[in-house]
Amino acid sequence: MTPDPHSISVEIAYASASEILRRLDDGDVTSRKLVEIFQSRIAAVDGPESVVALRSIAAVNAEALREADECDAERARGESRGPLHGVPILIKDNIEAVGLPGRAGSTSLTGRPPRDAGVVTKLRAVGAIVLGSTNLSEWANMRSPHSTSGWSATGGLVGNPWALDRSAGGSSSGSGAALAAGLAPLVIGTETDGSIVCPASLNGVVGLKPTVGRWPTDGVVPISASQDSPGPMARSVADLALFYGAMVNETAPAAGTLRFGVATNWRTEHAETDAAFDQMISRLRAAGYEVVDKEVAVPTSEVGEDEVTVLLCEMADGLNAYLSSRPGDGVHSLADVIAFEAAHADTELAHFGHEYLVQAAELGGTDHERYAPARARNLHWAIEVCLNPALEGVDVLLAPSYAPAWKSDLTVSGHGSALSSPVTSPSAIAGWPIGCVPMALIDGLPVGAAVVGRAHDEWTVIAAAAVLESVTMLECRPTFAPARRG
As annotated, the active-site residues are: 92, 171, 195
Burial class of residue 152 (count of CB atoms within 10 Å of its CB; 0-12, 13-18, 19+)? buried
* DSSP labels, 127-157: T-EEEEEE--SGGGG-S-TTPPTTEETTTEE
Cα distance between residue 389 and residue 71, in whole Å: 49
Query: Cα(358)–Cα(352) distance, rounded to whole angstroms?
Result: 13
Contact in structure between 179 and 380 (CB atoms under 8 Å): no
Helices (H), 168-255: 173-180, 197-203, 237-248
Q: For residues 209 and 366, what is the distance between their CA atoms, to the nearest angstrom? A: 24
Q: Distance (Å, rounded) from C-alpha 455 to C-alpha 433?
A: 6
Of the candidates 129, 114, 137, 140, the one whose C-alpha atom is nearest the C-alpha of residue 55 is 137
Containing H/E element for 427? helix 424-430
Pairing of strands 206-209, 229-234: antiparallel
DSSP, residue by residue, 328-347? SSS--SHHHHHHHHHHTHHH
* Nearest of 139, 193, 144 to residue 358 by alpha carbon: 144
